[in-house]
Chains A and B, each alone.
Chain A
Amino acid sequence: MSPRPPRVVLSKVGLDGHDRGVKVVARALRDAGMEVIYTGLWQTPDRVIRAVADEDADVLGISILSGAHMTLVPILIDLLKKEGLSDVLLVVGGIIPDEDVPKLLDMGVGSVFIPGSSLDSIVEFIHSRVPAKLSGK
């Protein structure tokens, strides 16, 4: 049986309206053959996690340019655990200071993509991590 393409939920949490990056990434992942669900702006952590569960997503991509990542990402990780979704690959993109990157990775974020990251590097990262996850399902 051929594995299905990766299913990716992309979301913006909080009040931050900067959506240029997330929309460009959504299109690039679609062009690379992934199934992408973009939740739109102003999501609460609860709603994001519900979308991940409802869509049976393999990947959750969170875009944060407001500086609230150290508050919001831990909340998302806790909720993923509570809902039994710890195997979902969490990816963060946006304005993230260098010193916060290792902290986010330690919390369980799969990768952090800062401005200047190429679209191909994001696609490759997801492809490198998701097939392995699929075999377990």
Chain B
Amino acid sequence: MAGKTTEAERERWEEEFARAPVRPTVTFDSISGEKIKGLYSPEDLAEFDPEESLGYPGQYPFTRGVHPNMYRGRLWTMRQFAGFGTAEDTNERYRFLFSKGQRDLSVAFDLPTLMGVDSDDARAIGEVGRLGVAVDTIDDMERIFEGLDLNQVSTSMTINAPAAIVLAFYFVVAERQGVPWERVRGTCQNDILKEFHAQNEFVFPPAESVRLVTDTIEFCANHAPKFNPVSISGYHIREAGANAIEELAFTLADGFEYVEQSLARGLSIDEFAPRLSFFFIAHNDFFEEIAKYRAARRIWAKRMRDRYGAKSEASMKLRFHAQTAGSALQAQQPHVNLMRVSYQAMAAVLGGCQSLHTNSMDETLALPSEHAVTLALRTQQVLAFETGAANTVDPLGGSYFIESLTDRMEEAAESIFEHIDKLGGVMKAIETGYFRRVIADSAYRYQREVDRKERIIVGVNDFIDDSAPSVDILKVDLATEHMQVERLKQRKAERNSERLNQCLERVRQAAANGENVMPALIEATRERASVGELTNALADVFGRYPGVPGG
């Protein structure tokens, strides 16, 4: 018996492969438009050197994962993003999630808070407490965490333009609970660059916005070393329409930009880089997603070591949160979303995520109901405890297909980095509208593929079933807005206006003098300055950014 396949066997396969009938009209390309071959074999890995490309888990270049034993030591954090209505409503939801086994919090703020607008501002009408919790002053923030010990929990906060302000609120909550800042754990999204590319929740101009991010990185490095001051995010870039390769490349390019700005501030790389974290999407194209995470770890490790001179391995490790894709959820036959979320979540776990949010089946209709969030959390628990996916590290490592795809994604990302460099770097590329153009083009291309049925979406362009059951959705009480506005007016009236104005003036001075704004923000928070007042104080100095070229 021959131990190796013969040339004849290969030729026979090639012939049969070429002759075999192929399903019509569908594409086999990945969502990024990469050509996917019908078979991957040792030939595809002819140049592949596992020692150089993979290494061992927990070791450079971390392709296989950031920990030596990954989920055998500790499972990923099941972190469900939640928040709506008032601080009381959100506090109640957190206690509910705790009773179901969740241990870490993830705060969703409402749109006015995300935009640095107070609930009593005319621009907030109809949106107070609707997509997340309304936070105006430290009193709201404190109420959210009532009965939840900041010594015990880690908190993720999804906020960007006013992130420095909300971070100041969080530190003052810790102070009021008697928890020292050095012990506070958690993550603030605080990734303003992707707001300019994709999500549109920016307030100040790009340079001033990035300066605020750098202030928080510096402040956390000095005072809250267990807190991740920024979560560099591809999620929103992807949701806005980018493909997987663009998500990968734009996110890492943003990461390099924060590193360079922090180095320019005089921080040393190993002082702050270990606390930079990432946030990627988990989308439908199963293998492409897994390859994306693996490529991301390898690219980051190489850059940090070779370009930025990191010495500490902690600086080279790309740790990431994943969330299943909101834009992949469908309004038609919403129960089917459970299956989509399951596969996406599995891709994130096979790709080595550190924490994961699974979307609820009803999110194309409204904020999730308790029933739907419970199922979403249960999806992760089944994945963790029943499927065996967590039993061994990087189970797909060495696969001809996965390794080829990982290499290919790395190459494609590198060529995008070169292009961004040619444009003059990330900040210049924002000004020219580059990112937004690329993302809008990809979004349009994808929708056309779906409309032409080159990509089948179950229940949307095939397998349509108008009799499928609907789901019961969460209704946010319309009285919330009125209540929050009245309460804010009352609180504002109760403050010491002289001390408050002095504090706001200190914030303006710090912003204008180029000193770190965090101490002034914290002092103003103690005087119960609101998110809107602090945002306005910063805008007095920084100005407001009207929008980005590229639509």
What residues make up the interface of A, taking CB atoms closer than 8 Å to B? 14-20, 23-24, 27-28, 38, 40-42, 44, 66-68, 70-72, 95, 97-98, 114-116, 118-120
Contact = CB atoms under 8 A, between A and B. Distances in A.
A47 B117 CA distance: 19
B373 interface: no
A23 B443 contact: yes
B222 interface: no
Contacts of B123: 14-15, 42, 44
Contact of B461 (A15, A20, A118): A118
B263 interface: no
B130 A66 contact: yes
Nearest to B471: A98
A20 B328 CA distance: 13
Given A19-B551, A20-B443, A95-B364, 11 more contacts: A16-B127, A24-B444, A40-B547, A66-B111, A68-B126, A97-B366, A98-B470, A115-B364, A116-B332, A118-B461, A119-B447
A20 B241 contact: yes
A119 B457 CA distance: 15
Interface-centre pick from A23, A38, A44 (highest chain B CB count, 10 A): A23
Interface in B389-424: none
Contacts of A23: 440, 443-444, 551
A119 B112 contact: no
Contact of A119 (B330, B366, B448): B448
B240 interface: yes
A72 B470 contact: no
Contacts of B551: 19, 23, 38, 40
Nearest to A41: B200
B332 A14 contact: no
A28 B365 CA distance: 24
The 5 closest A-B pairs by CB, nearest first: A17-B200, A71-B126, A68-B126, A15-B111, A116-B460
Contact of B476 (A27, A41, A67): A67
Given A40-B547, A40-B551, A15 B115 contact: yes
Contacts of B131: 66-67
Nearest to B123: A15
Contact of A67 (B200, B364, B367): B367
Interface string B350-394: 000000000000001111000000000000000000000000000
Contacts of B201: 17
A64 to B, nearest CB: 9
B537 to A, nearest CB: 20
Nearest to B327: A20
How many B residues touch the partner, as a band? 35 or more
24 contacts: A15-B112, A15-B114, A15-B124, A17-B199, A20-B240, A23-B444, A23-B551, A27-B440, A27-B444, A41-B547, A66-B126, A66-B130, A66-B131, A68-B126, A68-B130, A71-B125, A97-B365, A98-B365, A114-B331, A115-B330, A118-B450, A118-B461, A119-B447, A119-B451
Contacts of A38: 551
B239 interface: yes
Contacts of A118: 450-451, 461
Interface in B329-359: 329-332
Contacts of B367: 67
A14 B126 contact: yes
B539 interface: no
A28 B366 CA distance: 26
B500 interface: no
B451 A120 contact: yes
Contacts of B331: 114-116
B267 interface: no
A49 to B, nearest CB: 16
Nearest to A96: B365
Nearest to A22: B551
A58 B201 CA distance: 31
B127 A66 contact: yes
Contact of B366 (A20, A27, A42, A67): A67
A70 B127 CA distance: 11
Nearest to B239: A20
